[in-house]
């Protein structure tokens, strides 16, 4: 399997499929690059080079003790893009990966990335605090951390239906999808899984979003019970100058699966412009 090594010695696994204009995919918590299977196959089959990596601590990448912050994630991504000499890419981030996209653009610029997509993303800021009263109660994230340390497998098993929306009437998500989600999540290390809760909930991306000056597509389901649309997707689209917002009516968090056909077409259209 292909790997790159970061400046602190962390091995980052990546997949590189197809040829053509590159589309780079950044996965969500607590999954890995395999969550993008449906997008990677579709986009590569339609004339694009599609690249997805396992973030440090997740999937097949190394599990270092430190480095679970967005500056480091952005630097890891830059190492990958530099290694592959990626240019003219569309950078797509799902959930936690949306923060990676935002921080990459402000930390490393747009020379390699002239377009971006924020999908069900945690941007601009999830947690409630004095200057962000509309955010989510910090106790929610404390509960996630406690659940991970008490019984990680049990917590993730209970989290899966909320993540995929299988707990909602009419959901077409079945047991195999829930088991696949659990399988991907348990490939991660507990340290990265735990530390990233603070990273994705407490990092303030409002300055990052305001500084984005490339075409940006924001896609979010308004039925998302994990990353609330009003706190994130709607707010993010308002902060990014000229952003296009697509709302998937009633969609849960895991749009990469539940709305894969619609999402694939939207990504194809945006990347083809």
81: tokens are 């893009």
CA 39 to chain CA mean position, Å:
13
Work out the pLDDT band at 1, boundaries 50, 70, 90: confident
Question: Average pLDDT of 184-200?
Answer: 98
Q: Do the beta carbons of residue 11 and residue 5 sit within 8 Å?
A: yes
> How many folded domains does the chain comprise?
1
| pLDDT 10s digits, 17-46 | 999 999 999 999 999 999 999 999 999 999
| pLDDT 10s digits, 101-139 | 999 999 999 999 999 999 999 999 999 999 999 999 999
Three-state DSSP at 93 gives strand
Active-site residue set: 95, 224, 253
| pTM for the predicted model, two decimal places | 0.98
| pLDDT 10s digits, 38-68 | 999 999 999 999 999 999 999 999 999 999 9
Instruction: Determine the pLDDT at residue 34.
Output: 98
Range of the domain at 103: 3-272
Q: CB atoms < 10 A from the CB of 88, how many? A: 11
Q: Specify burial of residue 76 (Cβ count, 10 A radius: 0-12, 13-18, 19+).
A: buried
The CATH number covering residue 186 comes to: 3.40.50.1820
Instruction: State how far the Cα of 54 lies from the Cα of 28, in Å rounded to an integer.
Output: 10
Percentage of the chain with pLDDT > 70? 100
């Amino acid at each position: 399997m292909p790997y790159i090594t970061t400046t602190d010695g962390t091995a980052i696994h990546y997949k590189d499929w197809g040829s053509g204009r590159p589309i780079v995919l950044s996965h969500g918590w607590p999954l890995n690059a395999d969550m993008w299977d449906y997008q990677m196959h579709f986009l590569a089959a339609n004339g694009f080079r599609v690249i997805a990596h396992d973030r440090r601590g997740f999937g097949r990448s190394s599990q270092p003790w430190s480095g679970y912050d967005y500056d480091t994630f952005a630097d890891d991504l830059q190492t990958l893009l530099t290694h592959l000499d990626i240019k003219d890419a569309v950078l797509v981030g799902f959930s936690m990966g949306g923060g990676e996209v935002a921080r990459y653009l402000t930390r490393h610029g747009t020379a390699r990335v002239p377009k971006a997509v924020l999908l069900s993303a945690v941007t601009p800021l999830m947690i409630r605090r004095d200057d962000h009263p509309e955010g989510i109660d910090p106790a929610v994230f404390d509960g996630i951390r406690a659940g991970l340390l008490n019984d990680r497998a049990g917590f993730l098993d209970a989290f899966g239906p909320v993540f995929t929306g299988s707990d909602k009437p009419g959901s077409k998500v079945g047991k195999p999808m829930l088991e696949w989600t659990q399988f991907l999540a348990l490939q991660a290390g507990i340290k990265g899984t735990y530390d990233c809760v603070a990273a994705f909930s407490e990092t303030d991306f409002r300055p990052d979003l305001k500084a984005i000056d490339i075409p940006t597509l924001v896609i979010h389901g308004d039925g998302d019970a994990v990353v609330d649309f009003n706190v994130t997707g709607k707010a993010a689209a308002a902060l990014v100058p000229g952003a296009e917002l697509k709302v998937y009516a009633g969609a849960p968090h895991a749009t990469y699966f539940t709305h894969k056909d619609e999402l694939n077409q939207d990504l194809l259209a945006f990347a083809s412009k």
